[in-house]
Amino acid sequence: MQPHDLKYARLLGRLYNAPLMLLPDKAEALHQAMAAALAGGLAWRSEASSGGRSGTGEQPARKPYAVVGKGVALIPVFGPLVQRGGWLDALCGMSSYDRTASLVDQAMNDPEVNAVLLEIDSPGGEVAGLFALTDRLKAMGQRKPIWSYANEGAFSAGYAIPCATERIYLPRTGMVGSVGVIAMHVDQSQRDATQGYVYTPIFAGERKAAGNSHAPLDDATRAGMQHEIDRIYGMFVDHVATGRQLDRQAVIDTQAGLLNADDAVAGRFADGIASLDDVVSMLSDAASPHTSVFMKGTQMDPQAQQPDNTALNASIAADAKAAERSRIAAILDLPQAQGREALARKLALTTDMDAAAAAGLLDVTPQASAAGPDQTNPFVSAMQALGNPQVGAGGQAEQDPAQTAASLGAAIAALA
């Protein structure tokens, strides 16, 4: 057995009869690559040969990623995605979830790195290992900001990854989407017959040989595969809806279609259209400890020494309004206000008198006559003559408390 034979066998198990979050045309390309590999016409190459490119800076030899801008680790996620790259050696430029997680983890522990930017150009890939990666990205994003750049396409599993980061940008010609799941079954029974092969599986357990490539796909196996596809699709939809803060139905309504840059931003499947250099610059400014203090979902500038008391002032104003409403209600609800309603309203609405003082004043004021309106009461008439000065913190013509007291005293004296 050749050294590559085991790799081919494992790759077959990854490509067929397993759910994939991958563009259908790329799935077909992988199938063709696999056929070429089996025929001995495709060379294997190392994963290291496909990573580390960047248009914004050179990669230091001592780091497994480029550090660009002001401490931004630029981590490439290119090509079809697989769970583990060690056994595959990045056939056709594939990327692995475990290596991506490892690179991000190294950046989190790198004192020279303030933020991470995932540069993604992928048609998608395996389901296995994907959600473990997205969970890790969410957790690591609490330590340092992680953004994504779809350069030029982030599809299916390649779009699930940036949905676990804080922001997604793309160029004007970029595209994202393909929120869907697919599985392929290869029926090679006719080829077997042509070549004179007859495969007879010997097994225990009714479903043990279900879906094998040497027989057509039966209805029960198809239904079972569809059930699993639907389950994973629901997970994918929930992941995108949560990560992008979208309604679940809005994600379903894309029907696994591709979104160009304008539609992606309009539908909130991406945050903006920009060049890679611009995104590096924005992330540098957002995360640099010399220019700002990064907090999840916001930026705070330490150079702005003046605190923003807007919320505090609003709270104080709300408390003041609530207290004033309580004071007015307390006066209007006084037992002494019965038969003296007009005066009670005057005291409540045109003065800052508290309920106890108003009760004392109402006690010495005769009740309105049942036969006539409140205006027959001389004290009420005197109070009405005072007018309606504006009172409170915002009143421009606020009356001095001493003047108010003097006016009230004069009104009471007029009754003697």
Residue that is written with structure tokens 């034979």 in the block? 5
Structural domain contains residue 210: yes
**CA–CA dist 115, 143 (Å, integer):** 9
pLDDT of 137 > 60? The answer is yes
Last-in-domain residue among 236, 271, 300: 300
Q: Are 51 and 107 in a shared domain?
A: yes
Q: 91 Cβ partners below 8 Å, 6+ apart?
A: 11, 33, 37, 42, 44, 45
Here the tokens at position 338 are 């019965």
Q: Could you tell me if 142 and 219 lie in one domain?
A: yes
The reply to whether 242 falls in a domain is: yes
CA 299/CA 296 separation, integer angstroms? 8
Return the CATH number at 14.
3.90.226.10
Q: Which of 139, 163, 181 is nearest to 24 (CA)?
A: 181
- Region of poorest pLDDT, from 132-136, 199-203, 287-291, 342-346: 287-291
pLDDT of residue 297: 41
CB burial readout 110-138, b (16+ within 10 A) else e = beebbbbbbbbbbbbbbbebbbebbebbb
In the predicted structure, residue 191 carries a pLDDT above the cut 80: yes
Q: Count the domains in the chain.
A: 2
**What pLDDT score does 166 carry?**
96
In terms of residue numbers, what domain contains 358?
Answer: 310-415
349 or 89: whose pLDDT is higher? 349
Last residue of a domain, one of 260, 276, 300: 300
pLDDT tier at 32 (50, 70, 90 boundaries)? Answer: low
Output phi, psi for 308, to 5 deg: -90, 105
Give yes or no: residues 333 and 220 share one domain.
no
Q: Is 122 a residue whose pLDDT tops 70? A: yes
Q: What is the pTM of this model?
A: 0.59
- What is the mean predicted confidence (pLDDT) over 204-226? 90
For range 279-296, the mean pLDDT: 72
pLDDT single digits (tens) 257-267 = 999 999 999 99
What pLDDT was estimated at residue 35?
57
Higher-confidence residue of 291 and 34: namely 34
Rounded CA separation 352/343 (Å): 14
- pLDDT for res 294: 44
- Does residue 318 lie within any of the structural domains? yes
Same domain, 83 and 14: yes
Q: Where are the beta strands (DSSP E) in 88-231?
A: 95-96, 115-122, 124-126, 146-155, 167-170, 175-177
Same domain, 274 and 380: no
Where among 300, 320, 339 does a domain terminate? 300
Mean pLDDT, all residues of the chain: 78
Beta bridge partners of 259: 176
pLDDT tens digit sequence for 99-120? 999 999 999 999 999 999 999 9
**Region 228-255: what's the mean pLDDT?**
96
292 with 338, same domain: the answer is no
Q: What is the structure's pLDDT at 6?
A: 47
- Determine, yes or no, domain membership for 305: no
Q: What is the rounded end-to-end Cα distance, in angstroms, of the chain?
A: 121
339 and 190 share one domain: no
Place of tokens 């922001």: 167
Instruction: Identify whether residues 262 and 156 lie together within a single domain.
Output: yes
Sheet holding 124-126, edge to edge: 20-22, 124-126, 81-82, 95-96
Per-residue pLDDT, 42: 44
In a domain, 63, yes or no: yes
308 or 256, which is more confident: 256
**Co-location of 196 and 318 in the same domain:** no
Residue 49 binned pLDDT confidence (cut-offs 50, 70, 90)? very low
Residues 214, 358: one domain? no
CB 69 within 8 A of CB 116: no
In a domain, 7, yes or no: yes
- 302-to-284, 289, 293 alpha-carbon distances in Å: 16, 10, 7
Looking at the domain assignment, is residue 65 inside a domain? yes
Within a domain: 338:
yes
Q: Please determine, for residue 311, whether its predicted confidence score (pLDDT) is greater than 60.
A: yes
269 and 341, same domain (yes or no)? no
- Distance between CA atoms of 283 and 99, rounded to whole angstroms? 23
Same domain assignment for residues 251 and 362: no
Check whether 156 has a pLDDT greater than 60: yes
- Above pLDDT 90, what percent of the chain? 45
Confidence of residue 312 (pLDDT cuts 50, 70, 90): low
State the pLDDT at residue 53. Answer: 43
